[in-house]
Amino acid sequence: MGEAVIGYDSVDVFVGVDVGKGEHHAVALDKTGKRLFDKALPNDEKKLRELIGGLKEHGTVLFVVDQPNTVGALPVAVAYDEGVVVGYLPGLAMRRIADLHAGEAKTDARDAAIIAEAARTMPHALRSLNLVDEQVNELSALCGFDDDLATQITATSNRIRGFLTQMHPALERVLGPHLDHRAVVDLLQRYPSPAALRAAGETRLASRRPRRGASFTRRLAKRVSPAARRAAGEG
pLDDT tens digits, one per residue of 15-31: 999 998 788 999 999 99
The runs of H, that is alpha helices, within the chain are: 45-56, 73-81, 91-99, 108-121, 133-167, 169-175, 182-190, 194-206, 214-234
For 66, residues 6+ apart whose C-beta sits below 8 A from its C-beta are: 17, 18, 19, 72, 88, 89, 91, 94, 111, 115
Name the range with the highest mean pLDDT among 59-63, 102-106, 140-144, 218-222. Answer: 59-63
Question: Does 143 score more than 60 pLDDT?
Answer: no
Question: Does 155 score more than 60 pLDDT?
Answer: yes
* Per-residue pLDDT, 17: 95
Count Cβ atoms below 10 Å from residue 224 Cβ, excluding itself. 26
List phi, psi (to 5°) of 22: -95, -35
Domain boundaries defined on the chain: 8-131, 137-234
Q: What letter would DSSP give residue 208?
A: S
CA 49/CA 22 separation, integer angstroms: 17
pTM for the predicted model, two decimal places = 0.56
Assign 13 a pLDDT band (cuts: 50, 70, 90): very high
CATH of the domain spanning 8-131: 3.30.420.10
Tens digit of each residue's pLDDT (9 = 90 or more) over 63-77:
999 888 777 888 888
* Per-residue pLDDT, 206: 75
Three-state SS for 11? Answer: coil
Count Cβ atoms below 10 Å from residue 23 Cβ, excluding itself. 14
